[in-house]
Amino acid sequence: MIDIISNPIIQGMEKALDGSALRQKAIAANIANVDTPGYKSIEVSFAEQLRGALKNPGKVIRLRTTHQRHLQINNASTMKEFVISRQNTQVRNDGNNVDIDREIAKLTSNEIYYDAISRCINDEFNLLRKVIQGRV
Amino acid sequence: MGLLNSGLDICASGLTAQRLRMDVIANNLANATTTRAQDGGPYRRQIVVFEARSHTSDFKRLLENELTGLSGVRVKQIVTDNSPLRQVYDPSHPDADPEGYVSYPNVNVVAEMTDMISATRSYEANITALNSIKHMAAKAIEIGR
């Protein structure tokens, strides 16, 4: 039987949404630190590593359990490997390298990306709904 | 790893920090000619120092930082600018020294005004990021409707 809900397409889009949300948070952190001396901007390079992440679930933080029936947290894989700190550039004299124009542009494009992916997921679910109901 | 709570939290930290910076600038402007501050002498300009918020005692935030490496901003301290005071010749002023010079605060009103614009713009940038995250979270709720 085919697992209709957790098929690889939806799982992949789920990962893309997670990555996009993480990127938005990184941009928000950069914007919050636009006036912090010595702050180095961070970036989330997700698209390049998405393929690898799909193949390999990656590092997972495990809770230490002392009993076999203790619950384990699932899906809390660290996202840290996607977060890159840009150390080699400088925009201002105080060592801060947040380029606010770039950050706002990234913020907008990432928001549209998130919209697009969430619409794709919606379409996928609508398709499933139609199949289940058996009518157009 | 909620987009809503931690993302908005980062934006809120930026808003809080910029608002405090704005308050300090307003205080500097209000006291631009104050010759008797709390410690007796003329008022001295205050400067806000920001730092990336990495150390925290809040477990949830600590875990979040550990998982993603992202942090907001906070005001590390408010320091006093010890640059020389402005000397103005005005012998009739009650705070004039024996030579007739009055020490006015080292507040440069033009510099404060440009700083204020900078704080306003940074505040607005944080609002933009906050709205964007809010919009994304609303889109996520719409999934499956």
Q: Where are the domains of chain B?
A: 3-142
Q: Supply B22's token pair.
A: 């704005």
pLDDT at A76 over 50: no
Closest in A22, A32, A80 to B13, CB measured? A32
* Main-chain phi, psi angles of B24, to 5 degrees: -65, -40
* Span A5-50, pLDDT tens digits: 677 788 888 888 888 888 899 999 999 999 999 888 888 876 666 6
pLDDT at B132 over 90: yes
Question: In the prediction, which pLDDT does A11 show?
Answer: 80
Tell me how crowded residue B43 is: count the other CB atoms within 10 A of its CB.
23
In contact, A14 and B119? CB cutoff 8 Å: no
Give the pLDDT score at A88: 79
Q: Which residues pair with B48 in a beta bridge?
A: B78
| SS3 track for chain B | CCHHHHHHHHHHHHHHHHHHHHHHHHHHHHCCCCCCCCCCCCCCCEEEEEEECCCCCCHHHHHHHHHHCCCCEEEEEEEECCCCCEEEECCCCCCCCCCCEEEECCCCHHHHHHHHHHHHHHHHHHHHHHHHHHHHHHHHHHCCC
Q: What is the mean pLDDT of the segment spanning A109-114?
A: 94
pTM reported for the whole predicted model = 0.81
What is the rounded CA–CA span in Å between residue A12 and residue A84? Answer: 22
Res B117: pLDDT: 96
Q: Is the dihedral of CA B120, B123, B125, B130 positive or negative?
A: negative
Asked if pLDDT for residue B30 goes beyond 90, the answer is yes
Mutate to test the interface with B, among A35, A45, A120 (most CBs of B within 10 A): A35
Report, in angstroms and rounded to the nearest whole number, the Rg of chain A calculated over CA atoms.
19
Q: Tell me the two tokens of residue A128.
A: 């499933």
pLDDT 10s digits, A81-98: 677 788 878 778 888 889
The confidence score (pLDDT) of residue A43 equals 87
At residue A107, does pLDDT exceed 60?
yes
pLDDT average, residue stretch B36-43:
88
Token pair for B13: 């930290």
Q: For the purposes of burial, counting CB atoms within 10 Å of the CB of A41, is it exposed (0-12), middle (13-18) or buried (19 or more)?
A: buried
- ipTM metric: 0.83
In this prediction, residues B58-73 reach a mean pLDDT of 72
- How do residues B104-129 score in pLDDT, each as one tens digit? 999 999 999 999 999 999 999 999 99
Nearest to A14 by CA among A70, A42, A71, A54: A54
| Strand-pair category, B86-89 with B101-104 | antiparallel
* Token pair belonging to B62: 């600590």
In the numeric block, the tokens 């402005």 are attached to B86
What are residue B50's DSSP bridge partners?
Answer: B75
Question: What is the percentage of chain B residues whose pLDDT exceeds 90?
Answer: 67
Q: Which of B1, B49, B143 sits opposite A121 (nearest CB)?
A: B143
> Residue A86 has what pLDDT?
81
Give the per-residue pLDDT at B24: 96
Query: What is the reported pLDDT for A81?
Result: 61
d(Cα B48, Cα B18) in Å, to the nearest integer? 9
Which residues of A lie closer than 8 Å to B, measured between beta carbons? 17-18, 20-22, 24-29, 31-37, 39, 42, 61, 76, 78-80, 83, 100, 103-104, 107-108, 111, 114-115, 118, 121-122, 125
Closest by Cβ to A31, choosing from B71, B118, B125 = B125
* Residue B78, pLDDT score: 94
